[in-house]
């Protein structure tokens, strides 16, 4: 019996639950848990109505390690799929170690009181997971996740030396709202207001955040979406890829943002609504960005009227052993409306949730196994790439002759 516990009842958690229910041969028993029981019960009811599959549900505070450990010991899953908040990663990893359960997430840890995300905190668990004989798989979403698998695939099959990687992420969809974020507003806004970094010639190079007038951006011509302004951004998968991709000389991450989004975010930042430190209000402490999150649309509610597509992929430049130089582009196109028809979610949630399910499938089948902490590019990419095509995220690999800035 292949049992999994999904922690998190946001948009991504819903997608993981739906897709796991649809893959009964790999997920024979599924439990969905969250701090708010009504949320997981709503998702479970949707899954049963759409796919005829009953899921177990539970209430748990993922920050309470003893409480979560107790649930894990009672349910005895083989894998925990963590799609809760990144602040909770370490607590969930602690509980998995206590209960003897393998772990998977889609986003790396970041402290609640510091807008900084990096893998160092989770990589520090390497010896503990190895000693316990358990596996922790980090970053099995799309980016990070699928983009890392694309890199591993290219390194295995297409190029002997991968010199340059440009990850290009486009959401060309429209949700019809004046302003909304496509995943947790607090996490999204913390991410995009940070100083930008990219890796080049053996070091990290800083540049202005996307809200700065001096930010670095250009128009990239995305398949089926056209030319879109794409902004240089720091993203976590670069941190592991510089360790694991041979011969890498430069890696950058680019993401599209509309002028409307940037204008709204500049105003919110200017008036202090993106602050992460507590302020006094009517005799009590509130955190402005958490208050803003309560005002903005729930990303999980955006799918109903969402139109357009996401286009996410990687451009690779490198050489074969004979010295011949190649440029390749591997990408996926995902349609918001089609995602909603299948799992009642928009494509940003879908492109994160489906790879989380596939990563767990790889672990349950023993395709991906090991003792310790792993990023996905350290594992064999082939069967994961096959499952992307089968599970709703088909990919294309083409020669690239487009423009990228130097």
196 inside domain: yes
- The CA distance from 377 to 143, in Å, is 12
- The CA distance from 326 to 309, in Å, is 28
129 and 211 share one domain: no
27 and 176 share one domain: no
- The CA distance from 104 to 107, in Å, is 10
Partner residues linked to 219 by β-bridges: 229
111 inside domain: yes
25 and 114 share one domain: yes
| pLDDT tens per residue, range 154-198 | 999 999 999 999 999 999 988 888 888 876 777 778 778 889 999
State how far the alpha carbon of 385 is from the alpha carbons of 108, 152, 188, 233, 344, in Å.
22, 10, 27, 26, 24
Q: What is the pairing mode between strands 196-200 and 250-256? A: antiparallel
Q: According to the model, what pLDDT value does residue 1 have?
A: 66
- The CA distance from 241 to 148, in Å, is 7
Q: How long, in residues, is the chain? A: 406
What's the burial of 374, exposed, middle or buried (CB within 10 Å: 0-12/13-18/19+)? buried
351 inside domain: no
Residue 261 belongs to domain spanning = 146-346+394-399
What's the burial of 160, exposed, middle or buried (CB within 10 Å: 0-12/13-18/19+)? middle
Domain CATH code at residue 168 = 3.30.360.10
Looking at per-residue pLDDT, the higher value among 390 and 114 belongs to 390
- The CA distance from 119 to 366, in Å, is 25
- The CA distance from 335 to 346, in Å, is 8
221 and 319 share one domain: yes
Assign 236 to helix, strand or coil: coil
- The CA distance from 320 to 16, in Å, is 38
Residues 8-34 as b/e (b if ≥16 CB within 10 A, e otherwise) read: bbbbbbbbbbbbbbbbeebbebbbbbb
154 and 279 share one domain: yes
Domain CATH code at residue 129 = 3.40.50.720
Nearest CA-CA partner of 346 in 372, 311, 310, 382: 310
Which residues make Cβ contacts (< 8 Å) with residue 207, sequence separation at least 6? 195, 196, 197, 198, 214, 215, 216, 232
- The CA distance from 334 to 351, in Å, is 8
- The CA distance from 397 to 406, in Å, is 23
What is residue 195's DSSP assignment? P
28 inside domain: yes
| pLDDT tens per residue, range 10-63 | 999 999 999 999 999 999 999 999 999 999 999 999 999 999 999 999 999 999
Residue ending a domain, choose from 105, 138, 171: 138
265 and 152 share one domain: yes
Please give the torsion angle defined by the CA atoms of residues 165, 166, 167 and 169, in that order, rounded to the nearest 10 degrees. Answer: -170
Q: According to the model, what pLDDT value does residue 222 have?
A: 98
Average pLDDT for residues 247-272, to the nearest whole number?
92
- pTM for the complete prediction? 0.94
56 and 162 share one domain: no
| pLDDT tens per residue, range 270-328 | 899 888 889 999 999 999 889 988 898 888 788 788 999 999 999 999 998 877 889 99
Domain count, the chain: 2
Please give the torsion angle defined by the CA atoms of residues 291, 296, 300 and 303, in that order, rounded to the nearest 10 degrees. Answer: 180
Residue ending a domain, choose from 138, 164, 188: 138
Q: How far is CA 367 from the centre of its chain?
A: 21
330 and 197 share one domain: yes
| pLDDT tens per residue, range 116-163 | 778 999 999 999 999 999 999 999 999 999 999 999 999 999 999 999
- Does residue 6 surpass a pLDDT of 90? yes
Residue ending a domain, choose from 138, 159, 192: 138
Q: How far is CA 126 from the centre of its chain?
A: 21
387 inside domain: no
- Does residue 237 surpass a pLDDT of 80? yes
212 and 257 share one domain: yes
382 inside domain: no
| pLDDT tens per residue, range 206-235 | 999 999 999 999 999 999 999 999 999 999
What average pLDDT is seen over the chain? 94
- The CA distance from 104 to 242, in Å, is 21
What is the number of alpha carbons within 13 Å of residue 369 lying toward its C-beta?
Answer: 6
């Amino acid at each position: 019996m292949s049992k999994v516990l999904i922690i998190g009842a946001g948009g991504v958690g819903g997608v993981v639950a739906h897709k796991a229910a649809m893959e009964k041969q790999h997920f024979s028993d599924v439990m969905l848990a969250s701090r708010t029981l009504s949320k997981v019960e709503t998702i479970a009811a949707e899954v049963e109505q759409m796919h005829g599959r009953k899921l177990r549900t539970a209430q748990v505070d993922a920050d309470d390690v003893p409480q979560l450990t107790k649930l894990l010991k009672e349910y005895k899953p083989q894998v925990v799929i963590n799609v809760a908040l990144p602040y909770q990663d370490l607590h969930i990893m602690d509980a998995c170690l206590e209960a003897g359960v393998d772990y998977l997430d889609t986003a790396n840890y970041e402290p609640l009181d510091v807008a900084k995300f990096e893998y160092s905190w989770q990589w520090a668990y390497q010896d503990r997971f190895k000693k316990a004989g358990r596996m922790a798989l980090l970053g099995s979403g799309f980016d990070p996740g699928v983009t890392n698998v694309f890199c591993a695939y290219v390194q295995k099959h297409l190029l002997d030396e991968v010199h340059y990687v440009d990850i290009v992420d486009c959401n060309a969809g429209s949700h019809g709202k004046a302003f909304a974020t496509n995943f947790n507003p607090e996490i999204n806004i913390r991410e995009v207001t940070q100083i930008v970094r990219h890796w080049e010639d053996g070091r990290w190079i800083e540049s202005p955040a996307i809200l700065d007038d001096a930010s670095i951006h250009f128009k990239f011509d995305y398949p089926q979406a056209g030319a879109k302004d794409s902004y240089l951004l720091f993203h976590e998968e670069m941190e592991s890829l510089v360790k694991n991709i041979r011969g890498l000389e430069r890696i950058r991450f680019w993401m599209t943002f509309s002028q409307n989004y940037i204008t709204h975010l500049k105003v919110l930042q200017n008036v202090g609504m993106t602050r992460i430190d507590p302020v006094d209000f009517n005799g009590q402490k509130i955190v402005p960005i958490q208050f803003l999150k309560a005002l903005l649309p729930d990303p999980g509610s955006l799918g109903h009227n969402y139109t357009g597509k996401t286009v996410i992929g990687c451009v690779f430049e490198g050489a074969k052993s004979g010295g011949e130089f190649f440029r390749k582009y591997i990408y996926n196109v995902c349609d918001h409306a089609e995602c909603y028809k299948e799992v009642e979610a928009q494509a940003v949630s879908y492109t994160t949730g489906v790879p989380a399910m596939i990563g767990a499938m790889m672990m349950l089948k023993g395709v991906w196994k090991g003792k310790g902490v792993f990023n996905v590019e350290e594992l064999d990419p082939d069967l994961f790439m096959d499952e992307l095509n089968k599970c709703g995220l088909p990919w294309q690999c083409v020669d690239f002759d487009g423009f990228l800035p130097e």
